[in-house]
Amino acid sequence: MSHRLAYYPGCTLKTNAINYEISAIASSKALGIELVELPRWNCCGTVHALARDDVMHYIAPVRNLIRVEQMRGSGLVDEGRLVTLCEMCYNTLRRADMGVKEDQERRRKLRDIMEEEPPYRGEVEVVHLLQLVKELGWGKVRERVERPLRGLRVAPYYGCLLLRPRGLAIDDYNNPTIMERLVESLGAEVVEIPFKAKCCGSYQTVHMSQVAAMLSHRILRQAMEGGADMITLACPLCEYNLGERQERIRGLFPDLKYLPVLYFTQLMALAFGLEGSAGLEFNNPDPRPLLRSKGLLGESRK
Amino acid sequence: MALGVSRQPYRHGVENISFKARVEELSGQNLNLCYQCGACSSGCPLSREMDLLPSKVMRLVQLGRDDPLYSRTIWICSTCFECEVRCPRGIDIASVMEALRQLMLRRKYSEVRLESLDPEELGRLPQIAVISNLRKMMA
């Protein structure tokens, strides 16, 4: 029987990053984890309330944490951990949880403001799916592989919010290796890029798309010069800046190679023989021509 | 200053002290810890776009000067926390930037207005991009 864990999707996993969600649910299931979506979840706020007097922006994330405690109370999940996929959700929920636990005054204020909810007991731990996969062990991942991603050169890109600020890093914030180990376990070859944890431009893409394009370009170029076939990552906003925006970046730097950008869960789904749940049709640039040329799609099973 | 942001000569007075205290209160950081090593500026992926380097922002605020409020820097910062992990004094500089933005936003200054964004572009952007941008940029 699979282990049931509470899962917080967040807004973008239901729209732009639907491929992330589909592939995460399928590949987690293959590893024995059932992701149970929170009933009645709401926006996490996307960015943490950094100003110390800002209690208001704790309400949305903390309400989600209360939902997890309620789920656990009604036996819908097996433990108190909350699984996230989107890096912004991970960061915001995790920091809200930390902020409530470290400051009793803030906790008391929230309890007063949120009188319509039961008080948050502080029994939730916010985690990212990558942490769970690592915890299961790379051996278990390798066992589950049906179609090793042989001949595929993949550059992992972490972005910012899984590693910084330092108090919540899911791995060594100076030199994370969790995605490298995953990529290797799936049978692909790792291409290290120096800027694997440098900002892609983040939300500046909204009103300063040129500035974001410059940052994303440096990351793409490093991957290209390292001989990568594709980039893998864990954040829908990074995916947008590096993937969706790639055509426009190529307008500024015409020699930039076509580099598909896949969520790490899509690589897992592919390697686990769950091609139908990889959601590849939603990616831009389309990774299918590349994967077909490597014999990693369709009937060409090895 | 060569930046076109400063309006008055430096005076060590009550205003300066209260500005510094306000930034410390909002950011939760002790600004006196900064000894100007420049690690934040060298690590910042966006320093090239800034008119004031992050370390200079730190120094000015330390002196109680509010020039950084009128700089491009605080709006260029993407809160990536690269400075936070690099600071050998343990200062969360990203939170200092946030405090400076908050001081402007709470005066009803908006760096970005929703109506100035292209509706077609808005339709394509992931929600997390739009929400986070407006949380940081709009009063």
| B6 pLDDT higher than 90 | no
Query: In what helix (H) or strand (E) does residue B55 lie, and over which residues does it extend?
Result: helix B54-62
| A47 pLDDT higher than 60 | yes
Contacts of A118 (CB under 8 A, 6+ apart): A66, A69, A70
pTM value?
0.95
Task: Kindly state the average pLDDT of the residues A158-165.
Answer: 98
Q: Which positions in chain A have a beta carbon within 8 angstroms of at least one beta carbon in chain B? A: 10-12, 15-17, 43, 45-47, 50-54, 57, 86, 88, 160, 163-166, 173-174, 198-199, 201-208, 211, 215, 236-237, 240, 244
Task: Kindly state the average pLDDT of the residues A140-158.
Answer: 98
The pLDDT value given to residue A302: 46
Cβ within 8 Å, pair A206-B129:
yes
Taking CA–CA distances from B111, the nearest residue in chain A reads A207
| Neighbour tally for B58: CB within 10 Å | 28
CA dist B67 and B3 (Å) reads 10
The pLDDT value given to residue B17: 74
| B49 pLDDT higher than 80 | yes
E-state strands within A68-187: 81-84, 125-128, 153-156
E-state strands within chain A: 3-8, 33-37, 81-84, 125-128, 153-156, 189-190, 230-233, 261-263
DSSP state of A227: T
Distance of CA A108 to the CA centre of its chain: 32
pLDDT tens digits along B97-138: 999 999 999 999 999 998 999 999 999 999 999 999 999 999
The pLDDT value given to residue A233: 98
| B2 pLDDT higher than 50 | no
Fold equal for A3-129 and A146-293: no
Place of tokens 């960015």: A47
Listed by start position, the domains of chain A span 3-129, 146-293
pLDDT tens digits along B27-42: 999 999 999 999 999 9
- Structure token pair of residue B113: 């207005």
pLDDT tens digits along A72-114: 999 999 999 999 999 999 999 999 999 999 999 999 999 999 9
Q: Which residue among B26, B81, B98 sits closest to A165, beta carbon to beta carbon? A: B81
Kindly list the residues from chain B whose CB atom is less than 8 angstroms away from the CB atom of residue A16: 126-127
| B95 pLDDT higher than 80 | yes
Whether B6 and chain A come into contact, CB under 8 Å, resolves to no
The pLDDT value given to residue B15: 67
The pLDDT value given to residue B7: 55
| A139 pLDDT higher than 90 | yes
- Topology of domain A146-293 in CATH is Rossmann fold (3.40.50)
Whether B76 and chain A come into contact, CB under 8 Å, resolves to yes
| A185 pLDDT higher than 90 | yes
Whether B27 and chain A come into contact, CB under 8 Å, resolves to yes
Mean per-residue pLDDT over chain B, rounded: 91
pLDDT tens digits along A124-135: 999 999 999 999
Indicate which of A206, A216, A235 best probes the interface with B, i.e. most B CBs within 10 Å of its own CB. A206
DSSP state of A53: T
Domain A3-129 has CATH 1.20.1050.140: yes
Q: How many CB pairs under 8 A join A and B?
A: 120
Closest CA to B135 of B98, B81, B94: B98
The pLDDT value given to residue B85: 97
Asked whether the beta carbons of A124 and A97 are under 8 A apart, the reply is yes
- Structure token pair of residue B53: 């380097």
| B3 pLDDT higher than 70 | no
The pLDDT value given to residue A298: 85
Mean per-residue pLDDT over chain A, rounded: 96
